[in-house]
Amino acid sequence: MTSQATLAEAQDSCEIDDHSFHTHSQRAADDPTGVPDFLPEEAGDSFTPFNVGNRDFYINMLPPTPLELFQLFVPISLIQSWIEYTNAWVAHLIENGVIDNWNTPLKPGSRILKWEAISTATTYVWLGVMIYLGIHRESSVKSHWKAPRLGDQVPLHPITKFMPLNKFLLITRFIRTFDHTQLDVSDERDLPKVFQAAEPWSQHIQQVSSELFLPGTNITIDECMVPFKGRSKETTVVKNKPTPTGFKIWVVAQHGFFMRWLWHVKASPYKAVIVKLPPPHEPKGKKGKLKTTVALSNTQSVVIHLCNMLPKMTYHVFTDNLFSSPNLFRALREAGCGATGTARPNCGVSKELKDAKEGKKAGKGPALQYNEVRAIPTKDKKVMQIGWKDSGIVLFLSTVHTGADNDRTLKKRKSPAKKATKSESQQIERIFGVDAFKVIPIPTVAADYNDEMNHVDRGDQLRSYTMYDHRFRRGSWQALLWSFLLDVALANSFILQLKTRCPRWKPYKTLEKWKECIYNALFNTYAQESRARKRGRSGKEEDSEDLETHQKHIQRDTNHVYRGIFSDCLACKGFKQGQARPFKKRKAQGSYLQPITGNAQSKHQGGTGHQTWYGCRICEVAICNDPNCWYFYHTQN
């Protein structure tokens, strides 16, 4: 096959690869994140690549059902501890006559006085509602419980059958996933309170993830932002990010699967990593003595700490220019990991590449032609410094790639829009001609970086589509739990069932469908046991899709029993199994549910409806002795 035929084939099969070499890390002036700042290193004469091999990820055997997989991340034992902490917290508030941490006085009409101890089933139903609200979004939480009136073309959300609004709001406000008596804010060496509150569940999710998912060779370490605009000392502003304000988290990920993470704390508790300097280039200290070691910044040290949290294997670590420096990559190499990443001019790269990058910014003319590569090894032969001319000059550091002219990969590229000089325009025109896109051989270091650097961003993007997006008004830790940890548990379990080689069920192709599966399983399993919805109950509907079970359910001879409660027959009032029933006040205003039979009123109201002592044993609702009412109520269509 000729080279032209190869290019033509690649032109049809390659995706556009044109977006990964711009600066990811553009931070505000008050952001405490430390970027690498080292003097230029002397150039060497040769380079010894670090061999990382090629190992694919492996997923261990998963549980037999989707719900059991999700419950590995949110087990019953964890839920029971939440219940204990929550009930203790509410009792503490009521005992002290307050309703929150700010000692707001308890009033006769305070909502907390309506608190009822929650159960495991109720908590799982509440989690199901939280997941549901992330998919089916409304302008406010209350809008999900608003029943439409006659003529209103608005959605009716089925979660109203499982939990009333007031109970959902009560649980959301007062639930505690931590022991409030154990939080220590007096010792500055501890994590801040907001992170202490999330730490137990965070550690559990990471542990389960590491047991189920064994990572492959290529991993990414990057930052992740959790949106929060409330008052907290730990929030960070990162400009030009999709989520500019919130909590910053350092994450190591693969294929969007978050394996391990560390909280970003402004007074960093992470110990700085000491790196030995190469003997040929030892800068002098304050007293003129030669320095043999150098301390990485706290931000760079996070990379080492995250790698140490993974199983002991060889990895190829990809980082952006927030982390990359020759000193960090030496430390990773000593730890048995290869590394590749974009670099800043002041991270310690050679003076030649630094001048090329800064000279281009200063308008001194191009130092490299389009798609040209310049590779310079460090003096100790451990790190290769690479400059590549794309639309601008991009600097790379790598302990794996050589940057040689023959080390290239075919990629579909877009013709650069900015052509600063006539010379540059001529160079680009020779390559692209009149084509807007063309497959060209670019450096393999750039191609690999573009393919592998987005593992954390994939996870962020995956979660963003169906994230709970209502404000958390009290407790900044809630944003970490319900906007990050819950979504990570769902996203990780989704990726596991999607990429496993031994699926136990037909894999769900989107996170939205996976979340729908999980909240449906939670409602079907725990709704009846939770009894969270005490009013407006419309019977047991879980068996409606199981024909055999439903046939047993509608056997009137065995299931129509004496209830001991004298109340209106629901069928006479026009209700069916599975329909949400509105409150009397809402119904009087013209609700969506109107009587659909002639038995619109009870006898004492002058109508033909019935009151009865009997009803359905399974649904636990009143149904009179008229056989037509029994079958009317239990017929879905």
Q: How confident is the model at residue 346 (pLDDT cuts 50, 70, 90)?
A: confident
pLDDT score at 9: 43
pLDDT at residue 581 tops 60: no
Q: Which amino acid is at 178?
A: F
pLDDT score at 418: 64
Q: Which amino acid is at 25?
A: S
Residue 433's H or E segment, with its range, is none
Q: How confident is the model at residue 636 (pLDDT cuts 50, 70, 90)?
A: low
pLDDT at residue 270 tops 70: no
Cα(278)–Cα(500) distance, rounded to whole angstroms?
44
pTM above 0.85, yes or no: no
Q: Let me know how long the chain is.
A: 637
Q: Would you say 377 and 46 are in contact if contact means Cβ atoms under 8 Å apart?
A: yes
Q: Would you say 543 and 617 are in contact if contact means Cβ atoms under 8 Å apart?
A: no
Tens of pLDDT, residues 9-44:
434 444 444 444 443 433 433 344 566 777 777 788
Mean pLDDT of 169-193: 80
**37 vs 317, more confident:** 317
Sequence spans of domains, the chain = 60-184+470-527, 215-280+289-463, 540-579+608-636
CA–CA–CA angle 620, 623, 629 (5° rounding): 135
Most confident of 151-155, 174-178, 273-277, 572-576: 174-178
Tens of pLDDT, residues 525-560:
998 888 776 544 455 555 555 677 777 788 888 889
Q: How confident is the model at residue 285 (pLDDT cuts 50, 70, 90)?
A: low
Tens of pLDDT, residues 465-515:
888 888 877 778 888 999 999 999 999 999 999 999 888 899 999 999 999
Q: Which amino acid is at 626?
A: D
**235 vs 213, more confident:** 213
Judged by DSSP in three states, 24 sits in coil
Tokens at 156, concatenated: 């009716």
Backbone angles phi, psi at 631, to 5 degrees: -75, -30
